[in-house]
Copies of this chain bind each other. A is one copy, B any other.
Amino acid sequence: MVARRRNNPLALAVLVCLYERPMHPYEVATTLRQRHKDESVRLNYGSLYSVVGSLEKRGLIETSEVERAGRLPERTVYRITDAGRLEAHDWLAELLARPLKEYPAFEAALSFLPALPPDEAVALLNERALELESGLARDAYGLLELVERRGLPRLFLVEAEYAVKMREAELDYVKQLIAEIASGELGGLEWWRTIHTADMADPPLPSGAPWTQPLDQPVAQAKGSNA
């Protein structure tokens, strides 16, 4: 019954836009883009229209009018309802106050790190560090440009500042990890090296050896290799 229960932040973006004034979906999209919100909220038309439909079904927005210019497709203008205002407020408050578990791709990749030989891992991490650095330079330049060239108050850039900080932190961690592998300081390195010695040639991952150890089972336990 409860369609799309607070999963896609694009729905929040729509609500907040309509809070400002009634719009048709396409106008919401262009507004979000103009304000660079499409950098923080995944925006594409398919999702937009489906999200709008579900908001209407839930009574959070309603049709205000249907226009048509020439023979272009109709524009359905929506306005927010009281329920919608409430939902927008509560949802935003929730997103701000409660950290949400997410699954960044790099975290997943790190969890499979032992599957690659240490040397290759270091090379790849170095590449990442370089890309992070250049990306950071670009982003920082973009921010400065907005603040200085036009006098855009920082209030409207907090999300970008946050993103920059997070990338800086990631870069820090990547560098530290590289250093600890290179210096042999990282616990488990010997094991890591040995399982990648026999087959330097073709097979990029070591077969037979576990790519990571079970984190449980301090004692040898007969878990279910049920054959």
For residue A85, which residues in chain B have a CB less than 8 angstroms away from its CB?
A: 203-205, 207
Instruction: Determine the main DSSP class of A at the interface with B.
Output: helix
Band of interface residues on A = 35 or more
Count of chain copies: 2
Given contacts A35-B215, A115-B19, A169-B166, contact A40 B103 (CB under 8 A): yes
Complex Cα distance, B166 from A106, in Å, reads 12
**Does A41 interact with chain B (Cβ within 8 Å)?**
yes
For residue A67, which residues in chain B have a CB less than 8 angstroms away from its CB?
A: 227
Complex Cα distance, B223 from A16, in Å, reads 20
Q: Is B186 in contact with A40, judged by CB distance below 8 angstroms?
A: no
Q: Is A111 in contact with B37, judged by CB distance below 8 angstroms?
A: yes
5 contacts between A and B (CB under 8 A): A9-B103, A19-B207, A97-B128, A99-B128, A149-B218
Those 5 A-B pairs whose CB atoms lie nearest each other, nearest first = A153-B188, A155-B188, A169-B169, A95-B109, A89-B204
